[in-house]
Amino acid sequence: MRFSTKAIHVGQEADPTTGATIVPIYQTSTYTQEAVGKHKGFDYSRTVNPTRVALEAQLAALESAAHASAFGSGMAATAAVMNLLAAGDHVVVSDDVYGGTYRLFSRVLERYGLTFTYVDSSDPHAVEAALGPKTRLVWLETPTNPLLKLVDIRAICDLAGNDIVVAVDNTFATPYFQQPLALGARVVVHSTTKYIGGHSDAVGGVAITNDDALHERIKFHQNSVGGVPGPFDAWLVMRGAKTLALRMRQHERNARAIAEFLERHPIVERVNYPGLPSHPQHALAQRQMTGFGGMLSFTMRVPEQRAMDFAATLRYFSLAESLGGVESLICHPARMTHGSIPKEERERRGITDGLLRLSVGVEDVEDLLEDLETALARL
């Protein structure tokens, strides 16, 4: 079965009691049992819910995997994977991971005795140098936010070997453009809030693996801690995921056109988009991904204030955090998504005050280009 067929059919059998073609929203916390312990496999909705089960089957299939566990947010999914670890364990992390991931690791999990080393994981040697006898997990994100740097997943999985779990946050690329498990990763995490849900109307997360033992432990944690999505949110994410391929193709086509337009514009200093031949890791992008996604960032030759004003005057790009919805968004990372990182550290990582990030939506690209062109002309 191919990608879109899986998205539309796996886990989506007609409802056995009514024949409803679409999986119902099983808005129930509990299930009536025939006799003590005699039930249809459902006992309590933190543990198991039919709408969530359908979503999990669908999302596992999209990563060509055996198992998925859905969560109430991407962070809850990340926390579940981190609960595979124990006090004293060491983790190597990409130095430009999602801000919320950094916060979870540094402000929550360090208190539980985990230690973290942050490295520029776009350089596999930096990852290798950071591995130690206590390293149990490598946490990667690729492409990274907001600079769209890439990490060579296969190279790092080869370095990590069998004893170290490589986990990849695949939120930016989506399973449509990148399949980390096939490159050697053991776990994939998504914020389904973004492209997988795709309509900016639900928060969710998922952890996906082919490893039965790892899955059992994540499932155990899902039930023990209880960070599960409600049935309606599970259903919204599932509905969104059915059109993931269609949307990703359009996101990419639009992003590529905008990246090329911006790169040609004299006021634009630099465009970060893995699909551009000017991207330093374009060859890796072509090898590792089947498409380049809908996210890009760029800097302009103007003072910070004017870059911020520009972001606020666009007509179709809403000034907002988050990404991956059908509508286009623009954000100023230094003051918005990455505002909590000290300025010096931010600049060291290349997140300068003039940097803007676009989540390119699926509108007609001519409208998006006109919008950018008009705002650029006003600068």
Minimal distance in Å, beta carbon 236 to ligand PLP? 13
Q: Toward ligand PLP, which CB reaches closer, 103 or 249?
A: 103
Q: Residue ranges of the alpha helices (H) in 227-342? A: 231-241, 244-264, 282-288, 304-313
Catalytic residue among 6, 26, 96, 98: 98
Catalytic residue flag (residue 364): no
Q: Toward ligand PLP, which CB reaches closer, 194 or 215?
A: 194
203 scored as a contact of ligand PLP (CB under 6 A): yes
Give the integer Cα–Cα distance in Å for 118 and 97. Answer: 9
Compose the 220-259 pattern: x for residues touching ligand PLP by CB under 6 A, - for all others: ----------------------------------------
Interacting stretch for ligand PLP, rule CB under 6 A, among 40-48, 125-133, 166-174, 363-371?
166-174
Q: Toward ligand PLP, which CB reaches closer, 84 or 376?
A: 84
Compose the 23-62 pattern: x for residues touching ligand PLP by CB under 6 A, - for all others: ----------------------------------------
Interacting stretch for ligand PLP, rule CB under 6 A, among 3-11, 13-21, 96-104, 107-115?
96-104
**Closest-CB residue for ligand PLP?**
74
142 scored as a contact of ligand PLP (CB under 6 A): no
Closest CA to 192 of 141, 244, 143: 244
Task: Return contacts of 77-80, CB within 8 angstroms, 24+ apart.
Answer: 77/189, 77/190, 77/191, 77/205, 77/206, 77/207, 77/227, 78/104, 78/169, 78/189, 78/205, 79/104, 79/108, 79/225, 79/227, 80/207, 80/218, 80/221, 80/222, 80/225, 80/227
Minimal distance in Å, beta carbon 294 to ligand PLP? 12
Give the integer Cα–Cα distance in Å for 293 and 359. Answer: 9
Interacting stretch for ligand PLP, rule CB under 6 A, among 2-10, 41-49, 55-63, 165-173?
165-173
Closest CA to 271 of 360, 196, 193: 360
Catalytic residue among 15, 31, 46, 89: 46
Q: Toward ligand PLP, which CB reaches closer, 101 or 254?
A: 101
Cβ pair 217, 84 in contact under 8 A: yes
Catalytic residue flag (residue 149): no
99 scored as a contact of ligand PLP (CB under 6 A): no
Catalytic residue flag (residue 233): no
Give the integer Cα–Cα distance in Å for 115 and 85. Answer: 11
The secondary structure of 193-253 as a DSSP string is: TTTTT-SSS---EEEEES-HHHHHHHHHHHHHH--PPPHHHHHHHHHHHTTHHHHHHHHHH
CA angle 327, 332, 333 (to 5 degrees): 105
Give the integer Cα–Cα distance in Å for 232 and 165. Answer: 32
Catalytic residue among 6, 149, 186, 194: 194
Catalytic residue flag (residue 38): no
Interface residue with ligand PLP among 55, 68, 75, 314 (CB under 6 A) is: 75
Interface positions with ligand PLP (CB under 6 A) = 73-75, 98, 100-101, 141, 145, 169, 171-172, 191, 193-194, 203, 205
Active site residues: 46, 98, 169, 194
